[in-house]
């Protein structure tokens, strides 16, 4: 599939929540019951001050990836869960002046073509905070590799969210996120004299 016609831009995620969750279900794995629960959570999240979303959209209007996030607020549920882990790891100051990436998902048929990187750098470039935090399942995954490539480092590991079967790592990065190094021009054969 050619991704040349996929564009990244702001998206009204509340209006397109079902499309977004269909992408998340394929990318991350969500049961029908989890989709119903996530739908309420996403719509509630989007009401938070500063919450914003970007989508990757095909030329014919299909959503094939999305990211959303918001300025962290210590009164938010996510922040409250991770706070004791960050406190124990002496990284708790990351909860202040930080933009949280809440979800990032790319449709499996469109992965590996720069959309994940494009989505997260686009949303964090418009953030007013000097740093970004997020949580990811604490295993070596494409997501963890992407976050490390962007400059995120581990702030706490083995973080347990109620009802999540697997532990998470909390990661943080200074903004703007690290860019992919430009490919070095190939050096042709040595000149003959």
The 3-state DSSP class for residue 80 equals: helix
Least Å from the CB of residue 46 to ligand COA: 18
Least Å from the CB of residue 88 to ligand COA: 22
For ligand COA, the closer CB: 69 or 71 = 69
Please report which residue ranges of the chain form alpha helices under DSSP H: 17-24, 32-45, 77-88, 115-125, 142-149
Least Å from the CB of residue 14 to ligand COA: 20
Who's near 137: CB < 8 A, 6+ residues apart? 143, 144, 166, 167, 168, 169
Least Å from the CB of residue 74 to ligand COA: 21
Least Å from the CB of residue 135 to ligand COA: 7
E strands, the chain, are 7-10, 52-57, 63-71, 98-106, 131-137, 153-159, 168-174
For ligand COA, the closer CB: 27 or 53 = 27
For ligand COA, the closer CB: 180 or 191 = 180
Q: Which of 92, 89, 17 is nearest to 47 (CA)?
A: 17
Q: Which residue's CB comes closest to ligand COA?
A: 116
For ligand COA, the closer CB: 87 or 179 = 179
For ligand COA, the closer CB: 59 or 191 = 59
Inter-residue contact 164 to 192 (CB < 8 Å): no
Residues that bind ligand COA (CB under 6 A): 27-28, 104-106, 111-117, 136, 141-143, 145-146, 149, 180
């Amino acid at each position: 599939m050619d991704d040349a016609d996929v564009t990244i831009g702001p998206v009204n995620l509340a209006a397109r929540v079902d499309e977004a969750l269909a992408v998340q279900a394929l990318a991350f794995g969500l049961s029908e019951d989890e989709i119903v629960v996530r739908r309420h959570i996403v719509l509630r999240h989007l009401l938070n001050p500063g919450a914003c979303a970007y989508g990757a959209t095909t030329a014919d209007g299909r959503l094939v990836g999305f990211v959303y996030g918001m300025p962290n607020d210590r009164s938010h549920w996510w922040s409250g869960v991770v706070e004791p882990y960050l406190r124990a790891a002496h990284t708790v100051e990351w909860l202040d002046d930080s933009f949280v990436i809440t979800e990032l998902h790319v449709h499996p048929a469109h992965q590996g073509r720069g959309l994940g990187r494009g989505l997260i750098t686009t949303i964090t470039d418009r953030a007013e905070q000097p740093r970004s935090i997020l949580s990811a399942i604490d295993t070596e995954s494409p997501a963890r590799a992407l976050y490390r490539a962007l400059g995120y480092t581990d702030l706490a590991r083995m973080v347990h969210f109620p009802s999540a079967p697997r532990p998470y790592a909390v990661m943080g990065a200074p903004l703007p996120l690290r860019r992919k190094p430009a490919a070095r021009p190939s050096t042709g054969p040595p000149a003959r004299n």
